[in-house]
Amino acid sequence: MYKAALIGAVAGFMGSAQSLGVKATLTTKVTALGVKQGEFAGEKASLLAMVKIGCPLLYGSLYVLGSRAGVPQVLFLFNVLLAALAMVLSQLDVW
């Protein structure tokens, strides 16, 4: 068990650094649009709070619906769908 935890910790060592580029780009774009840093931080915190409430509700509902239909793996299929959507959206120039 310890070895698995250690390997996971080493593999996820730079996990938090992966979002730095996204955060920096987002901050730059928002500043260019004229939004103040404090306002942006407040909006980001509000969005994060809504996500922390909404996502467990969504995933719980998906699990219940999938279990009733005999496919409790629907959560994994939903994650694959989200990953594919993120890949497609990342290729578009939305700014």
> CA-to-CA distance for 78 and 69, rounded, in angstroms?
15
| Structure-block tokens of residue 55 | 């996502």
Are the CB atoms for 63 and 75 separated by under 8 Å? yes
Q: What mean pLDDT comes out for the span 33-42?
A: 90
CA angle 43, 49, 52 (to 5 degrees): 140
> CA-to-CA distance for 17 and 12, rounded, in angstroms?
10
Q: Does position 44 have pLDDT exceeding 80, yes or no?
A: yes
How many CB atoms sit inside 10 A of residue 72's CB? 14
Closest CA relative to residue 48, chosen from 40, 37, 36: 40
pLDDT for 50-77, tens place per residue?
Answer: 999 999 999 999 999 999 999 988 989 9
pLDDT for 2-32, tens place per residue?
Answer: 676 667 666 666 666 667 777 888 888 888 9
Are the CB atoms for 44 and 30 separated by under 8 Å? no
